[in-house]
Amino acid sequence: MKKPFMGCAYYPEDWAEEQIDYDISMMKKAGITCARIGEFAWRKMEPERGRYDFKWLHDVVDRLGEAGISVVMGTPTATPPIWLIREYPDVAVLNESGIRKNHGGRRHCCSNNPRYIEACDSIVHAMGREFGKDKNIIGWQIDNEIYLQGCVCGYCINRFRNMLKAKYKTVDELNRQWNLNLFSQAYDSFEDIPPAVNAWHNPHILLEWRKSQCDAHIDFIHRQADILRQYTTAPIGTDMMPVNGVDYEKMNEKLDVVMFNHYNVPSNLHQLNFWFNYLRTLRDRPFWNTETAPTWNGSTAIGQYLKPEGFCRVNSWLPVALGGEANMYWLWRQHWAGHELMHGSVLSPEGRPTHTFGEIQQTCEEFERASDFIMSTMVDTNVALHYTSLNYNMLEIQPLVADNPYTHSVMRTERALVSAGVCHDVIGARADLCKYKLLFSPYMLTLEDGDLSERIEQWVKNGGVWVAGPMTDQRNSIGAHYTDRAMGILERMTGVRLEYGIPTDGCYLKAHWSDGSELCHEKWVECYSAGGETLAEVTKGHSALVGKSVISKFNYGSGKIILCGTVLDVKDCVRLVNTALEEAGITAYKTEGMLTVVPRVGDDMSGLVLCECGYENAAVELPYPMTDVLSGRHFEAGKMQVEPYGVYVLVK
C-alpha cells in the first residue's frame, strides 16, 4: 500500500452482510485505503467463553483486501461480552461510592483484575492465531482510548500499596516524605493507606494513586503487545487521546507505532501542531492519526457546528505534514441504532455520502500525488519544547494557579513558536537533547524525572540555549517544596535566588522590558535577585518587589539560560521566543497569520509543507523558488500568499 494512507473506522458487525460490498465500493470511490475493524466486536468473535467465530471477520478482511483496502485490526478488550460480567461480576470497575459499573458501556472493566486479564489474554491469543499472518493486516490496535478509570477494587488497592512499599520501603519514610504530621495524617502501616479518591487527600497520595492506576493500564497494553508478537510482525499500537496522564513515553516504549485520536474544531485546530509535534518524537517511525471527525463529533448530542469548507482537508493534512503517515476518520458509516447516533461520519446510516465527501476524495488524491515527497523526507528542526507526564499529573493535582491547566499553558509557548515561524519538537522527559540548539521548559514544576536535570545541565554546558520557566524546577519528584533552596538546579546554575512568587491579575504589579515597553504578564510573577543580564523587571507594586528581575539571561559553560518567571501573553511570548532564537543562532521563517510551516528534509529532496490553520489569509517568505506538488504551480522566492485553510507541498 502506498503511503501516506487514508483510513476509516468500520464496524461490519453492525451491518447486514449484503451492505458490506456497498460500503467497500464507496470506500474505493472516496479513496480510502485502510479500514480499522474489530475493536468493539468481542461478543461476535467469542459468543461464549472459549467458542470462537472468526469466519465473518475473515470474510470482511478478505473482501477489503480484494478491493485493495488494507486493515488495522483492533483487539476488542474495551468491550467485554455479558458472559464475562455474568460469570465474574467483580471484573467491573468499582467506583469510590462502592458501586460497580454495569455491562453496556466500554472500558468498564478493571485492568488489574486477574479474571478480566485472563479473558483478554485468551481473545488476543485467538485473534493472533487467526490473523497474525494475514498479509492484508498492516497493523494492530490494542484496546481503545485507555485512560484513568477510578477503580478502587481490592486488586487496585493491593497494587497501589505494593508500589508504595517498593518505593518508600517503610511507612515511616513515606510519612516523612509526605509530611504527614500535618493534619495528623500519618499512617501506622501500608495497609492503612486508602485509595486516593478524595480531592482533599494529601497531594502526594493523589499523585502516587494516579501513577499506580496509569501504570496498570500501561502493563495491560504491553501484555497484549507481548501476546501479539508471538503471531505477527505487523506494527502494534494503542489509540490514545490528547491527555498525558497515562505516560505517553512509557506507554509507547514497548509499542511499534504511536496512534492518536482527536476531534478538534476551527477554534482549536492550531493546537494540533502541539500534539503532532509531540507524537513525532515518541517513536522512530511515523505516527498514525487513528481518529478524527470527517464532519463533527457528537455522542448523545452534537456539540460542534458546521465547519468551513476546506477544514476537513487541512485537518486531514496536518498529521501527515507534521510527521505522520496516516489519517483515519471516525467513523465510516454512521450508526443506525445504539450508541453515538449523532456522531458525524463519511456516510449517513442509509449509505449516502455526507457533505465533506468531495474534500475527502480530494485529500486522498493529494496524498497519492505527494506520496514520494512525504515518505522520502522527515520533519527538520533543532528546537524543542518540554511536556511531561509527571508534570501533567502533578499540576492536575496541584494546579498552583487557578484556570492555568498545564497542557494549555504549554500550548501558549507552542503558539508563540508557530507564530514566530519555528518548526519544533514537543518532547517528554526521556528524549535525547543532543539534536537541539534551543530548548523551552515552561511550567516544568519538577525536573526530577529520571536523570532529566543532569542531562539538561550537561546540554547547556555543551552550548545549548535553555529557556526555563515560569514555575519550573520548584518541586521534587513527588511535588514537595525544597526546604534548602527555592529551585532544584536553577539557582545553582544561574547564581540567582528566587525571592518571591506572586499571584497577580496585572492590576497592581507592573513590569517592563529593559527597553521600557510594558511586559504583559498574567496570573503569576516570580521575582529574582540580581544576576546575569536583566531583560525585564518589576517596576510597580509592593516596594519589596520593585527592581526585582522577572526575565534574565545567564551564561553557563558554553551555553545560555533565559529564566522567565511569569506567564506571558502571546505577544510577549513571541518576543521571548525571538530573543531565544537570536541567542541560539536560529533563523526562522517569516510568516503572517496562523500558518504552520513544516520544513522537511530527505537524502534526495527537501521542501516545505504549509497548512493554514486559522481560516484567514496568511503568508510566508520563501527563501528560494519552489513548486507545489499538489497543483504544479511555481512560486518565486519572496512573499507567498496562502488562502484560508490552504495546503501546499512545496519542493525546492
Please say whether the beta carbons of 432 and 452 come within 8 A.
no
Separation CA 572–CA 511 (nearest Å)? 12
DSSP 145-180: S-------SHHHHHHHHHHHHHHHSSHHHHHHHTTT
- What pLDDT, on the 0 to 100 scale, is given for residue 506? 85
* pTM for this model (two decimals): 0.97
Among candidate residues 487, 421, 412, the one with its CA nearest the CA of residue 442: 412
- What pLDDT, on the 0 to 100 scale, is given for residue 2? 80
Q: Are residues 370 and 393 in the same domain?
A: no
Q: What angle is formed at CA 428 by the lines to CA 423 and CA 430, rounded to 5 degrees?
A: 120
Q: Is 493 within a domain?
A: yes
DSSP β-bridge partners for residue 551: 536, 564
Among candidate residues 223, 206, 200, 85, the one with its CA nearest the CA of residue 148: 206
- What pLDDT, on the 0 to 100 scale, is given for residue 522? 87
Q: Are residues 361 and 502 in the same domain?
A: no
| 401 CA to centre of own chain | 23
- What pLDDT, on the 0 to 100 scale, is given for residue 505? 87
Q: Is 116 within a domain?
A: yes
Q: Is 161 within a domain?
A: no
For the four alpha carbons of 213, 217, 220 and 223, in that order, the dihedral sign comes to negative
Residue whose cell numbers read 520563501 = 622
Q: Are residues 301 and 360 in the same domain?
A: yes
Domain boundary among 584, 608, 634: 584
* Residue 256 vs residues 1, 213, 252, 287: alpha-carbon distances, Å: 18, 23, 7, 9
Name the average pLDDT for the chain.
96
Q: Which comes out higher in pLDDT, residue 571 or 400?
A: 571
Q: Based on C-alpha coordinates, what's the Rg of the chain?
A: 26
The confidence band for 404, taking pLDDT boundaries of 50, 70 and 90, is: confident
Among candidate residues 564, 553, 501, 512, the one with its CA nearest the CA of residue 531: 553
**Which uninterrupted H or E stretch holds 647?**
strand 647-651
Other Cβ atoms within 10 Å of 515 Cβ, number: 7
DSSP β-bridge partners for residue 535: none
Mean pLDDT over 139-160 rounds to: 94
Q: Is 221 helix (H, G, I), strand (E, B) or coil?
A: helix
Q: Which comes out higher in pLDDT, residue 148 or 461?
A: 461
Tell me whether the omega of the peptide bond preceding residue 395 falls within 30 degrees of 0, making it cis: no
Provide the strand spans (E) within 541-642. Answer: 549-556, 559-564, 566-568, 591-592, 595-601, 606-612, 618-622, 626-628, 634-635, 638-642
Q: Are residues 357 and 371 in the same domain?
A: yes
pLDDT at 269 over 80: yes
Mean pLDDT over 42-71 rounds to: 98
Provide the strand spans (E) within 235-281. Answer: 236-237, 239-240, 259-261
pLDDT at 595 over 90: yes
Mean pLDDT over 226-240 rounds to: 98
Q: Are residues 373 and 431 in the same domain?
A: no
Q: What's the DSSP call for residue 81?
A: -
Domain boundary among 348, 378, 408: 378
Q: Residue 320 has which C-alpha cell?
A: 501527515
- What pLDDT, on the 0 to 100 scale, is given for residue 471? 93
Mean pLDDT over 41-55 rounds to: 98
| 577 CA to centre of own chain | 23
Please say whether the beta carbons of 359 and 164 come within 8 A.
no
- What pLDDT, on the 0 to 100 scale, is given for residue 271? 95
Q: Is 198 within a domain?
A: no
553-563 pLDDT tens trace: 999 999 999 99
Task: Tell me the one-letter amino acid at 636.
Answer: E
- What pLDDT, on the 0 to 100 scale, is given for residue 626? 98
The confidence band for 640, taking pLDDT boundaries of 50, 70 and 90, is: very high
Least confident of 41-45, 319-323, 569-573: 569-573
Kindly give, in sequence order, each residue whose CB lies less than 8 Å from that of residue 648, ignoring residues fewer than 6 positions away. 608, 609, 610, 628, 630, 631, 642
Kindly give, in sequence order, each residue whose CB lies less than 8 Å from that of residue 297, ignoring residues fewer than 6 positions away. 263, 303, 304, 343, 344
Which domain CATH number covers 408?
3.40.50.880
- What pLDDT, on the 0 to 100 scale, is given for residue 298? 87
274-330 pLDDT tens trace: 999 999 999 999 999 999 999 999 888 888 899 999 999 999 999 999 999 999 999
Q: Are residues 495 and 423 in the same domain?
A: yes
Kindly give, in sequence order, each residue whose CB lies less than 8 Å from that of residue 489, ignoring residues fewer than 6 positions away. 447, 453, 456, 457, 473
% of the chain with per-residue pLDDT over 90: 92
Q: Are residues 324 and 464 in the same domain?
A: no
DSSP 569-584: -HHHHHHHHHHHHHHH
Q: Is 259 helix (H, G, I), strand (E, B) or coil?
A: strand
Q: Are residues 31 and 67 in the same domain?
A: yes
Q: Are residues 483 and 418 in the same domain?
A: yes
Q: Which comes out higher in pLDDT, residue 193 or 506?
A: 193
Q: Is 164 within a domain?
A: no
The confidence band for 402, taking pLDDT boundaries of 50, 70 and 90, is: confident
DSSP β-bridge partners for residue 139: 72
- What pLDDT, on the 0 to 100 scale, is given for residue 376? 96
Separation CA 27–CA 615 (nearest Å)? 29
- What pLDDT, on the 0 to 100 scale, is given for residue 105? 86
**Which uninterrupted H or E stretch holds 441?**
strand 438-441
Q: Is 328 helix (H, G, I), strand (E, B) or coil?
A: strand
Which domain CATH number covers 42?
3.20.20.80
DSSP 491-545: HHHH---EEEEEEE-SSS-EEEETTSPEE-EEEEEEEE-S-SEEEEEEEESSTTT
Q: Which domain holds residue 75?
A: 5-86+107-146+218-378
Separation CA 111–CA 154 (nearest Å)? 12
**Phi-psi domain of 69 (left: phi exceeds 0; alpha: psi -120 through 50; beta: other):** beta
Three state DSSP letters for 22-41: HHHHHHHHHCCCEEEECCCC
Q: Are residues 599 and 578 in the same domain?
A: no
% of the chain with per-residue pLDDT over 70: 100
Among candidate residues 219, 225, 226, the one with its CA nearest the CA of residue 238: 225
* Residue 601 vs residues 370, 379, 586, 598, 609: alpha-carbon distances, Å: 14, 7, 17, 10, 11
Per the structure, the count of domains in the chain is 3
Which domain CATH number covers 632?
2.60.40.1180
Q: Are residues 541 and 630 in the same domain?
A: no
91-115 pLDDT tens trace: 999 998 899 999 988 899 999 999 9
Domain boundary among 584, 600, 628: 584
| 478 CA to centre of own chain | 23
Q: Are residues 65 and 37 in the same domain?
A: yes
pLDDT at 176 over 90: yes
Mean pLDDT over 438-466 rounds to: 98
Mean pLDDT over 219-225 rounds to: 98
